[in-house]
Amino acid sequence: MSRRRKKESKKIIYGVLVALLLILGLIFGNNERVSSIVSSMNILQNEENSTIQNTNENETIEAEPVNVDSNLIVDFIDVGQADSILIQNEDKVMLIDAGTNEAGKTVVDYLENKGISQIDYLIGTHPHEDHIGGMDDVIEAFDIKQIYMPKMETTTKTFKDVLTAISNKNLKITQPNKGTQIELGEAKCKFMTDPIIDKDNINLSSLVIRLEFGNNSFLFMGDAEKENEETITWPKTDVLKVGHHGSNTSSSQEFIEQVQPKYSVIMVGEDNSYNLPKQETIDKLEEAGSKIYRTDETGTIEITSDGNEIKVSTEK
């Protein structure tokens, strides 16, 4: 029997007992004694209601299991000090970033080994070389349906190479706004913030994507920093792709407390010159109870979801 039904049953029993006592009081003329008993019963009833209410306030309500027809697969590809994330559901494919110029072939080979020939959504979170360096290789190698990038532009050769590859295939760039939604099979994705255009800090233009699949959720932060994090209130999320490779310019205390990630993925190169991730960021994630995975320690990280449970496997 549920807690609510038990509570309703007890209310009925209390009501019946009080009514019987009042009737007995009328019959035997001992109303004062009956009133005293009823008063004591009311006190006990109020105490129990208070206990039940407090219990319900502290009770964690588990989401009802959902049924989905497929699994979601998210691969955090080891591309060194860079980002490249492959997401698959049903027959749909999304690629967020494509590593450095040198990693372009690595990303292409990885996707081809997965049997991928078409990318439904190609997303360049922002025009830094460690995120879009391999995008021209990806565009040339695969059938691309739609490309998302922020409004931020640069004059680097890397950025120009991407624009040339896009032009050669007669593709165009979509610049999403906060709240723009797309579907990837049974997964629903939403762009969470508007890019902040600041030529002195290109990281602030990062596209941030939240993905929901059944009862599970993922948050891909690109290189978004604290200024981006402060623009909205963040929902709890199961898996966090930590912003800016675990730098202390991202992942503020308030942000981590809002997201409360069960799993955190840091994409970072082994013995990188930036000394990332920062210990400060790791400490905050650990204090929040998050299980941390790092590509410099484990290689490529694959996370799968059936809509209810998440499983993590690593290359090493």
Quick check: 131 pLDDT over 80?
Answer: yes
Q: Which residue, 193, 252, 198, is CA-closest to 225?
A: 252
Examine the domain organization and report whether 169 and 32 are in the same domain. no
Examine the domain organization and report whether 113 and 255 are in the same domain. yes
Domain contains 67? no
Domain contains 306? yes
Q: Which of 12, 29, 58 is the last residue of a domain?
A: 58
Examine the domain organization and report whether 42 and 90 are in the same domain. no
Quick check: 95 pLDDT over 60?
Answer: yes
Examine the domain organization and report whether 185 and 267 are in the same domain. yes
Residue 144: CATH number of its domain: 3.60.15.10
Where helices occur in 169-249 by DSSP H, the ranges are: 226-229
pTM for this predicted structure? 0.82
pLDDT tens-digit map of 175-198: 999 999 999 999 999 999 999 999
Domain contains 63? no
Beta bridge pairs of residue 85: 76, 96
Domain contains 53? yes
Q: What is the tally of structural domains in the chain?
A: 2
Domain contains 51? yes
Examine the domain organization and report whether 107 and 204 are in the same domain. yes
Distance of CA 164 to the CA centre of its chain: 33
Domain contains 236? yes
Examine the domain organization and report whether 129 and 216 are in the same domain. yes
Examine the domain organization and report whether 161 and 297 are in the same domain. yes
Quick check: 247 pLDDT over 50?
Answer: yes
Cβ atoms within 10 A of the Cβ of 170, count?
6
User: What tokens appear for 239 in the block?
Assistant: 């898996």
Report which secondary-structure segment, H or E, holds 28: helix 3-28
Ramachandran category for residue 148: left, alpha or beta (phi over 0 → left; psi -120 to 50 → alpha): beta
First and final C-alpha spacing in the chain: 47
Distance of CA 3 to the CA centre of its chain: 32
Quick check: 36 pLDDT over 70?
Answer: no
Examine the domain organization and report whether 19 and 120 are in the same domain. no
Distance (Å, whole) CA 268 – CA 266: 6
Taking the alpha carbons of 62, 67, 73, 74 in that order, is the dihedral positive or negative? negative
Q: Which of 19-28, 99-108, 188-197 has the lowest mean pLDDT?
A: 19-28
Q: Are 207 and 189 in contact (CB under 8 A)?
A: no
Domain contains 64? no
Examine the domain organization and report whether 86 and 228 are in the same domain. yes
Region 220-241 average pLDDT:
98
pLDDT tens-digit map of 212-229: 999 999 999 999 999 999
Quick check: 17 pLDDT over 90?
Answer: no
Place of tokens 């205390």: 253
Examine the domain organization and report whether 139 and 210 are in the same domain. yes
Domain contains 66? no
Examine the domain organization and report whether 87 and 193 are in the same domain. yes
Name the band, by pLDDT with cuts 50, 70 and 90, for residue 63. Answer: confident
Examine the domain organization and report whether 153 and 277 are in the same domain. yes
Domain span at 250: 72-314
